[in-house]
């Protein structure tokens, strides 16, 4: 099995304003009149709020030379949504074997799906979001980086996921390859209405 570790850019000093926000009604129900001015003020400066809350997050996996990998980000918690400004998948330790891979959106009910089979590399879960006109394999060069084409919004209980699709004949040569999923992401409360982001 591949080993996975999560590396983040540190604690965002702006996030605490959302964690301490008081609500008189649960998320998903109508906001009370007391909170209406608060929500309106957030909408007025939505872009500023998003930009101030963007974090750099990294998720890393080391391939074992036997299996393809699935590398998931954290799942978006209830009451929040993620604005993903950009995301890339890149090799940080190369073992001379090109690695075919994809970036997908993954719902929570698919989080335990197995990696793609080495015998028949077929994407069996998730919604592919990487640039289909760009590279589809990872290598040692800067031109062999898989990335998203545009910004994304992830709803609660969804994650960004990377999956390798190396065929059986080449999988052994990937042993020791280290891959990172990197993203610029802002975590925001559902009470903040998103502007026209896409």
Instruction: Summarize pLDDT for 185-197 with one digit per residue, the tens.
Output: 999 998 876 665 5
User: Please, which pLDDT band fits residue 4 given cuts at 50, 70 and 90?
Assistant: low
Q: What stretches of the chain adopt beta strand conformation (E)? A: 3-8, 54-62, 70-72, 80-93, 99-107, 127-128, 137-138, 146-147, 152-154, 158-164, 178-189
Residue ranges of domains in the chain, CATH in brackets: 3-189 (2.60.120.1330)
| pTM score of the predicted model | 0.74
What's residue 132's pLDDT? 83
List, for residues 125-158, the tens digit of each pLDDT value. Answer: 788 999 887 878 888 776 678 999 889 999 999 9
List, for residues 49-67, the tens digit of each pLDDT value. Answer: 888 889 999 999 999 999 9
């Amino acid at each position: 099995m591949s080993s996975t570790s999560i590396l983040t850019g540190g604690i965002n000093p702006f996030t605490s304003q959302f964690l301490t926000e008081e609500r008189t009604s649960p998320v998903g129900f109508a906001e009370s009149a007391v909170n209406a001015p608060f929500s309106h003020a957030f909408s007025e400066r939505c872009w500023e709020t998003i930009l101030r809350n963007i974090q750099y997050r990294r998720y890393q996996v080391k391939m074992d030379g036997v299996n393809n990998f699935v590398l998931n980000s954290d799942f978006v918690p209830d009451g929040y949504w993620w604005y993903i400004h950009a995301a890339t998948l890149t090799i940080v330790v190369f073992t001379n074997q090109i690695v075919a891979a994809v970036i997908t959106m993954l719902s929570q009910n698919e989080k335990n799906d197995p990696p793609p089979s080495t015998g028949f590399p077929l994407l069996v879960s998730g919604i592919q979001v990487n640039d289909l006109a760009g590279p589809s394999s990872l290598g040692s060069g800067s031109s062999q980086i898989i990335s998203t084409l545009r910004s994304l919004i992830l709803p609660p209980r969804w994650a960004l996921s990377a999956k390798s699709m190396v065929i059986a004949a080449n999988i052994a040569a990937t042993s020791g390859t280290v891959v990172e999923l990197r993203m610029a992401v802002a975590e925001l409360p559902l009470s903040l209405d998103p502007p026209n982001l896409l």
